[in-house]
Structure 1
Amino acid sequence: MFTGRKLLIATKHAKESVIQPLFEKEFNVTCHTNTTFDTDILGTFSGEIERRFSIMETLRKKCLLAAQEEKFDLIVASEGSFGTHPTLFFAAADDEFMLFLDLKNNIEISSREISLETNFSGEEVNTSNQLLAFAEKALFPSHALILKSSEKNPEIIYKGIVQKEDLLNKFQELKSKFSSVFIETDMRAHLNPTRMQVIQKATEKLVAKIKKACPSCNFPGFDVEEIIKGLPCDNCGLPTKSTLALKYSCKNCDFKQEQKFPNNKKFEEPTFCDYCNP
Structure 2
Amino acid sequence: MKAKELRAALLTKHQKLALIAPALAQVGLKLQLTEAFDTDALGSFSGETARTQSPLDCAKTKAKLACEATGLAIGIGSEGSFGGGPAPGLLNWDDEVLCLFYQDKQQFIMAYASGPVPLSDLKTDQLALIRAHLEQHDAAQGWLLSYSTGLLKGLLGFDAIFQAVQHADLLSTSGQLTEVIRISPDLRAHLCPARQRYIQQAAAQLADRLLALCPVCQAADFWRKAHEPGLPCSACTYPTQRVKYYIKKCDCCGHTEHEPPAEPYAEPAYCPLCNP
The two structures share one fold, judged by TM-score above 0.5: yes
- Cross-structure match for 1:121: 120
Structure 1: stretches of 5+ with no match in the other structure = none
Q: 1:160 aligns with which of 139, 148, 154?
A: 154
How far, CA to CA, are the matches of 1:45 and 1:63 in structure 2?
A: 19
> Could you tell me which residue of structure 2 aligns to residue 42 of structure 1?
42
Is the Cα–Cα contact under 8 Å of residues 149 and 174 in structure 1 kept in the other structure? no
- Check conservation: 1:110, 1:206, Cα contact below 8 A: yes
- 1:129-177 CA distances to partner (integer Å, 9 max, x unpaired)? 22123212332x2211111115xxxx41111111322212323546459
Equivalent residue number for residue 244 of structure 2 = 244
With over 3 angstroms needed to count, the CA separation of the structure-2 counterparts of 1:265 and 1:13, relative to structure 1, is same
Percent of aligned pairs with the same amino acid: 27
Residues 84, 178 of structure 1: alpha-carbon distance in 2 compared, 3 angstrom cutoff: farther
Partner of 1:72: 72
User: What is the match of residue 135 of structure 2?
Assistant: 136
Partners of 1:138 and 1:185 within 8 A in 2:
no
Q: Which residue of 2 aligns with 1:268?
A: 266
Q: Which runs of 5+ in 2 are unaligned?
A: 172-176
Alignment of 1:171 with 2:169, yes or no, is no
Q: Which residue number in structure 2 is paired with residue 23 of structure 1?
A: 24
Deviations 1:190-237 (A, max 9, x none): 111221111111111111122111111111111223211111111221
AA paired with 2:202?
A
In structure 1, how many angstroms separate the alpha carbons of the residues matched to 2:184 and 2:169?
Answer: 14
Aligned 8 A contact 2:228 2:245 in 1: yes
Separation in 1, partners of 2:104, 2:24: 18
Residue of structure 1 in register with 2:216 after alignment: 216
| Aligned match of 1:62 | 62
The alignment partner of 1:7 has SS state of: strand
- How many residues get paired? 268
Q: What is the aligned-residue RMSD (CA, Å)?
A: 1.9
Structure 1 residue aligned with 2:93: 93
3-state DSSP class of the match of 1:98? strand
The letter of the residue matching 1:144 is G
Alignment of 1:196-235 (within 5 A): 196-235=196-235
Q: Whole-Å Cα distance in 2 between the matches of residues 4 and 208 of structure 1?
A: 16
Is the 2:24–2:204 Cα contact (8 Å) retained in structure 1?
no
Moved more, 122-131 or 226-235: 122-131
How far, CA to CA, are the matches of 2:157 and 2:247 in structure 1? 51
Q: Distance in 2 between matches of 1:5 and 1:166?
A: 42
Q: Structure 2: how far apart are the matches of 1:275 and 1:171?
A: 62
Instruction: Flag as ranges the 4+ runs of structure 1 deviating above 6 A.
Output: none
Q: 1:258/1:61 Cα in 2 relative to 1: closer, same or farther (>3 Å)?
A: same
Q: Give secondary structure in 1 for the equivalent of 2:159.
A: helix
Aligned to 2:105: 105
Deviates more, 1:207-216 or 1:175-184: 175-184
Give secondary structure in 2 for the equivalent of 1:48.
coil
1:105 Cα shift?
2.7
Do the aligned residues in 2 keep the contact of 1:231 with 1:242 (CA within 8 Å)? Answer: yes
Q: Distance in 2 between matches of 1:128 and 1:277?
A: 53
Offset, 1:257: 0.9
Q: How does 1:9-20 map to 2 (within 5 A)?
A: 9-20=10-21
Letter in 2 for 1:52: T
